[in-house]
Every structure is written in structure tokens, then in C-alpha cells.
Structure 1
């Protein structure tokens, strides 16, 4: 999969690295903005408190 992604990116090596970093930043942004909050709403974790 990574080899296929590397081959379809245009340009020299330095440009491919910059593009991969931009894609990675975009994926992380989407995960933290929409995916993780959506999953948190579905799983609905139980609030646990520790009492002494």
C-alpha cells in the first residue's frame, strides 16, 4: 500500500515527502475533528470516579 502511494505521488523525492506529510496531517485532522468525537458518542463511556 505504501509503495503504491509513493508511486502515484508526482514530483521528486523532496516533494513526495512534503505531500505525504500534508496528507498525514489532513488525516489526523479529520480523525480528531469528526471521527473520534463520533465514535465517542456511539461508545458512550461510563464516567468512573475514584472515591476515597
Structure 2
């Protein structure tokens, strides 16, 4: 999968690295902004059984 991403991206190696880092930052931002808050509404933290 990573080799396919590397081949698809245009430009020299340094530009590909920058593009991949930017894409990873966008994915992490999306997870923290949309996915994790949505999942936290589905979980009930009051039902903890650890003593």
C-alpha cells in the first residue's frame, strides 16, 4: 500500500515525503475532530468496573 502511494505521488522524493506527512496530519486531525468525539458519545465512562 505504501509503495502504491509512493508511486502515485508526483515530484521528487522530498516533495513526496512532504505530501505524505501532510496527508497523515489531515488524517490525524480528522480523527481527533470528528471520529473520536463521535465514538466517545457511544461509550459510557460511568460503567467502569476497575477498582
Place the TM-score, normalised by the shorter chain, in its bin. 0.7 to 0.9
Structure 1, unpaired ranges of 5+: none
- Give the CA deviation at 1:44: 2.2
Q: What is the alpha-carbon root mean square deviation over aligned residues? A: 1.3
TM-score by length of 2: 0.84
Deviations 1:1-52 (A, max 9, x none): 111111111110000000001000000000000000001101222276xxxx
Q: Distance in 1 between matches of 2:45 and 2:4?
A: 38
Structure 2, unpaired ranges of 5+: none
Partner residue in 2 for 1:9: 9
Equivalent pairs counted in the alignment come to: 48
